[in-house]
């Protein structure tokens, strides 16, 4: 994109000063851009700044590559130094350049602090090569001396501007920086380009040319194509859910969990990061779950089991029904998955002995098919030997025990007690409310308190 915008067209803005060779004012550049491209001044400034930041034009008395819409003087970069040549200058080049600058006795070529630091660093890095670098720098200086004085001035400034792009002043953003993961594909001509001017594509974006043919042409051999057909057949057989149902389910999910999302609903009593008050974390860690938390256990079996307190309550409920073996089996298998390899075989056997063997103390109800498969798996016990059995038991719990749990007294009581607690709090005396709000900081009551204090 830089090639299209920079370069020749702008060059026609003529330079005029005699003493300072080949310059142009920032204002002139902006004006020219506005006239030639028919754009507004803000757009022209933006574009001009972009061009400057890439190094196509530069201020002659500054190291910072930006454009000012005033009398500041700018110069155009020599085509040799254009970024479009995809320069990736090596540190040896930079070393030669800095070295060269120290050899010439001119104040305008004196090194800035950061440049002196860089030079020192490079000298250490290239210790063995330094003689070579020094010689190169000397040769460069000799050649430069032969050039015309004005020409030299221009060239020096252009060279400096080049290095401002590739070795920017600390604090400036290096526009040449690429994500290293994408670096090796930089020269790929098929890379999708984005519009610099914010022009949006009308209609659906077209497939990048490299992707479509590549996708299909990769499968070369007969085997590959057959595999592809198999894959596609599975895809076709898959039952696709209607979009309306999908939308319904996604909306439903977010609506249900919205009150638990601290970004949407401020958590009770406060978001610790905002108020610097850890009471929210203390409450979460305590053995007394909030009503909101108990309610969440009713959303799904996953939620109940995810929360250690919920899991605990569910287990106690099942124990009261003498049907806890399913959950205990499920928990044992979860634990097995995290065991170190050396313990796995033994644990797997222990689980079999406890839950599945003939005359086991806590027999679980597994269908014959899963039973067969599991016992087969145990011939070579591994962390996932019980995967199928676990799934089966999970579904049993979900369809049977879980719904009874939600209707049970032990759950309902907890849910309602929590609710009762919050209404209790409403009836607390105003003094208690006062002290609570003082402790928990930023709240609406805080404002009222100040009002109270002022009036008294």
Partner 1 sequence: MAAEKAEIEKLKKECDGLRKQIETARKAVNDGDMKGASSGVESVGRVQLKKRKDLKGHLAKIYAMHWAADSRQMVSASQDGKLLIWDTHTGNKLVAVPLKSAWVMSVAFAPSGNLVASGGLDNMCTVYNVKAASPKTLRELDAHTGYLSCSRFLSDSEILTASGDTTCCLWDLETGKQKVIFTNHIGDCMSLALSPDQNCFISGACDSLAKLWDVREGACKQTFSGHTSDINAIAFFPSSNAIITGSDDTCCKMYDLRADQEVLHYQDSGLNAGVTSLALSSSGRLIFAGYDDFNCHIWDTLKGERVGVLSGHDNRVSCTGVPEDGLGVCTGSWDSFLKLWN
Binders of partner 1 among residues 125 to 184 (CB under 8 A) are 173, 177, 179-182
Q: What is the 3-state secondary structure (H, E, C) of the chain?
A: CHHHHCCHHHHCCCCCCCCCCCCEEHHHHHHHHHHHHCCCHHHHHHHHHHHHHHCCEEECCCCCCCCCCCCCEEEECCHHHCHHHCCCCCHHHHHHHHHHHHHCCCHHHCCCHHHHHHHHHHHHHCCCCHHHHHHHHHHHHHHHHCCCHHHHHHHHHHHHHHHHHHCCCCCCCCCCCCCCCCHHHCCCCCCCCCCCCCCCCCCCCCCCCCHHHHHHHCCCCHHHHHHHHHHHHHHHHCCCCCHHHHHHHHHHHHHHHHHHCCCCCCCCCCCHHHHCCCHHHHHHHCCCCCHHHHHHCCCCHHHHHHCHHHHHHHHHHHHHCCCCHHHHHHHHHHHHHCCCHHHHHHHHHHHHHHHHCCCCCCCCCCCHHHHHHHHHHCCCCCCCCCHHHHHHHHHHHHHHHHHHHHHCHHHHHHHHHHHHHHHHHHCCCHHHHHHHHHHHCCCHHHHHHHHHHHHC
Give the residue with the Cβ less far from partner 1, 180 or 431: 180
Give the residue with the Cβ less far from partner 1, 78 or 378: 378
Q: How far is the CB of 354 from partner 1 (least distance, A)?
A: 22
Binders of partner 1 among residues 205 to 244 (CB under 8 A) are 205-208, 211, 214-216, 218-219, 221-222, 225-226, 228-229, 231-233, 235-236, 238, 240-244
Binders of partner 1 among residues 288 to 327 (CB under 8 A) are 302
How many chain residues interact with partner 1 (CB under 8 A)? 75
Give the residue with the Cβ less far from partner 1, 260 or 440: 260
Q: How far is the CB of 245 from partner 1 (least distance, A)?
A: 8
Q: How far is the CB of 385 from partner 1 (least distance, A)?
A: 12
Binders of partner 1 among residues 251 to 290 (CB under 8 A) are 251, 253-255, 257-258, 260-264, 267, 271-274, 278, 280, 284
Binders of partner 1 among residues 409 to 428 (CB under 8 A) are none
By CB under 8 A, which span of 80-88, 138-146, 383-391, 395-403 interacts with partner 1? 383-391
Which of 141, 309, 360, 387 is the binder for partner 1 (CB under 8 A)? 387
Query: Does residue 434 touch partner 1 according to CB under 8 A?
Result: no
Give the residue with the Cβ less far from partner 1, 40 or 321: 40
Give the residue with the Cβ less far from partner 1, 143 or 236: 236
């Amino acid at each position: 994109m830089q090639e299209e915008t920079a370069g020749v067209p702008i060059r026609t803005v003529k330079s005029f000063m005699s003493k300072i060779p080949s310059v142009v004012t920032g204002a002139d550049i902006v004006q020219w851009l506005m006239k030639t491209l028919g754009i507004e001044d803000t757009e022209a400034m933006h574009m001009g700044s972009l061009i400057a930041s890439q190094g196509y034009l530069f201020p002659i008395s500054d190291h910072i590559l930006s454009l000012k819409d005033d009398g500041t003087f700018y110069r155009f970069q020599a085509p040799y130094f254009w970024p479009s040549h995809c320069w990736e200058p090596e540190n040896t080049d930079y070393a030669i350049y800095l070295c060269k600058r120290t050899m010439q006795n001119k104040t305008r070529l004196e090194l800035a602090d950061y440049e002196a630091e860089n030079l020192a660093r490079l000298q250490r890095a290239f210790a063995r090569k330094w003689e070579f670098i020094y010689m190169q720098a000397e040769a460069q200086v000799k050649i430069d001396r032969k050039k015309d004085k004005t020409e030299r001035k221009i060239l020096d400034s252009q060279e400096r501007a080049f290095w401002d792009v590739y070795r920017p002043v600390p604090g400036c953003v290096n526009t040449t920086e690429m994500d290293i993961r994408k670096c090796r594909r930089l020269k790929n001509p098929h890379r999708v380009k984005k519009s610099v001017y914010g022009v949006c594509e009308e209609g659906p974006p077209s497939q990048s040319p490299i992707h479509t043919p590549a996708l299909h042409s990769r499968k070369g051999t007969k085997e590959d194509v057959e595999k592809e057909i198999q894959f596609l057949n599975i895809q076709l057989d898959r039952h696709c859910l209607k979009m309306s149902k999908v939308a319904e389910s996604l909306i439903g999910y977010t609506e249900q969990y919205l009150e638990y999302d601290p970004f949407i609903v401020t958590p009770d009593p406060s978001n610790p990061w905002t108020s610097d008050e850890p009471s929210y974390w203390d409450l979460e860690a305590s053995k007394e779950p909030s009503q909101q938390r108990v309610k969440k256990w009713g959303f799904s079996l996953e939620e109940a089991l995810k929360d250690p307190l919920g899991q605990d309550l569910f287990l106690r409920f099942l124990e009261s029904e003498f049907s806890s073996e399913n959950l205990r089996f499920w928990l044992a298998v979860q634990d097995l998955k995290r065991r170190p390899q050396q313990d796995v075989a033994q644990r797997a056997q222990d689980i079999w002995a406890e839950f599945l063997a003939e005359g086991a103390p806590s027999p679980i109800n597994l269908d014959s098919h899963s039973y067969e498969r599991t016992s087969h798996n145990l011939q070579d016990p591994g962390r996932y030997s019980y995967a199928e059995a676990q799934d089966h038991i999970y579904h049993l719990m979900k369809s049977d025990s879980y719904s009874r749990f939600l209707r049970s007294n032990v759950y309902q009581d907890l849910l309602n007690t929590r609710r009762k607690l919050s209404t209790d709090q409403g009836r607390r005396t105003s003094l208690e409310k006062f002290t609570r709000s003082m402790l928990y900081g930023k709240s609406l009551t805080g404002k009222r308190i100040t009002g109270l204090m002022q009036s008294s």
